Chains A and B, each alone.
Chain A
Amino acid sequence: MPEQTRFEELVLPHLDAGYNLARWLTRNVADAEDVVQDACVRALKYVGSLRDGDARAWFLTIVRRAFYDWCGRNRPAEIARDDGTAIDMAIDEAAIGPEQAALKSSESRLLADMVAELPLAYREVLILREFEELSYKEIARIADIPVGTVMSRLARARGLLQRSPLLHAIGGRSGGER
């Protein structure tokens, strides 16, 4: 099968998934389009080596890679600040950046905005889990981290969102620590 046909049959059906990931990572339309286009260039090039495995996870891996390359060129500060290992070490609330402090005090902020403002390392695992419904193992492969790290980052991401007063107001549960 020629590369173009393979690409159309295997990768194109997952264009929405790729764009959704890129859109949440870049947080704007034009950049997300650029990232996905770059990912498609790479996917076209390598689709010959893709067996009938999981084309969606394969494509998402490429989109994520393309995003980080793009980010390194255009927003290096964001990678430095939201770097996974650095973030994982910052266990203390005190060490959480100003963005998250703002996030905590956001009474009227929409949940979608809060998700968009999560540190990159948390945002990507949350998007892959909640939107693409991928397993820990698949997310670990895509994000190139151990499964244990997937779990802890998911827990941190959810913890940050749950701390919002907005969620409790809507979620309606009154008990538990704030």
Chain B
Amino acid sequence: MNCHEAGMLVARYTDGEVDSLQRHSIERHLRDCPACTAKHQDLLALRTQIRAEAPYYAATPALRERVRALVANAHDVAPARPRADSDRWRWLTGGAFAGCAATVLAWVLGTAVIDWRANEDVAVEAVTTHVRATLNDHLIEVASSDQHTVKPWLSARLDYSPPVHDLANEGFALRGGRLDTLDKHRVATLVYRYRQHTIDVFVRPESARAPSALRTVRGFNVAHATSQGMDWLAVSDVSPDVLTAFVERLAGADTTP
């Protein structure tokens, strides 16, 4: 590979958008090419700086209030769907939504097939649990960034002792833990913060009913790893590669204390 060929591939490589073959050739090129390596470093530096300096704006309380009111009003209005025999007014206003509807339709067609069969497994349950905890503001029952506080709290309430590690120095800060039910068993849930994202990690004794290594459910990624008789199941909206690396790091943490 020469620099010309490497051109666009450097950005794609930095964004994690290359296949294993491309990864191999670009990494080999980067080893011998200072110019392209500098380009790669620049992109990484820019990303770091954007994430450090440009704020992630969380929804304002006022907006949450307005949306809550919106949903409540929708409750009051009878859920009567507009009938097909819509009148002229409906056609006119409907026009405003037509583009939106077309996008939605294309989306649904595209994703429905892939997600069809995977409806009733542990990954889906884990995401549902994560969402419920987020919505009910019930993320944490024992709040502590100290693994020596969280672990005994969990162990006292379970028939096993989950490994707990704070990885704050790697960007994954332990915020606490709680108890959940997953696959009909009580499990330990560790809550981590990664940048503006929350990560739930379900830790349980190894189970036959484990999902594949990586799944996407309702826009959340679910990553899974197993080590030494324990299962780690991480749920979050962070990118799949970050989540996979994190869950594998957690599973490996016990072997290198």
Contacts and interface: CB of A to CB of B under 8 A. Distances in A.
- Interface centre among A10, A51, A69, by most B CB within 10 Å? A51
B71 to A, nearest CB: 5
A83 interface: no
A121 interface: no
A135 interface: yes
Contacts of A131: 51, 54, 56, 196
B contact face: mostly helix, strand, loop, or mixed: helix
Interface in B221-254: 237-239, 242
A contact face: mostly helix, strand, loop, or mixed: helix
A108 interface: no
A28 B70 CA distance: 22
A42 to B, nearest CB: 5
Given A52-B217, A53-B107, A65-B103, A33 B131 contact: no
B62 interface: yes
Contact of A55 (B50, B196, B218): B218
A13 B112 CA distance: 20
Interface string A1-43: 0111001111011111111100110000100110011001110
A170 interface: yes
Nearest to B44: A171
Contacts of A167: 45-46, 49
Contact of B239 (A40, A57, A133, A172): A133
Interface stretch (A84-92, A94-102, A151-159): A151-159
A155 B12 CA distance: 10
B11 A46 contact: no
What class of interface size applies to chain B in its complex with A?
35 or more
Contacts of A52: 115, 119, 124, 217-218
A43 B199 CA distance: 25
Contacts of A111: 49-50, 53-54
- Interface centre among B12, B39, B115, B218, by most A CB within 10 Å? B218
A49 B105 CA distance: 8
B84 interface: no
A144 interface: yes
Contacts of A20: 56-58
26 contacts: A4-B74, A7-B74, A8-B71, A13-B135, A15-B63, A32-B57, A36-B59, A45-B97, A46-B101, A51-B111, A51-B112, A53-B107, A53-B114, A56-B218, A61-B107, A65-B103, A66-B100, A110-B53, A111-B54, A126-B50, A134-B239, A135-B17, A151-B11, A154-B15, A171-B42, A176-B42
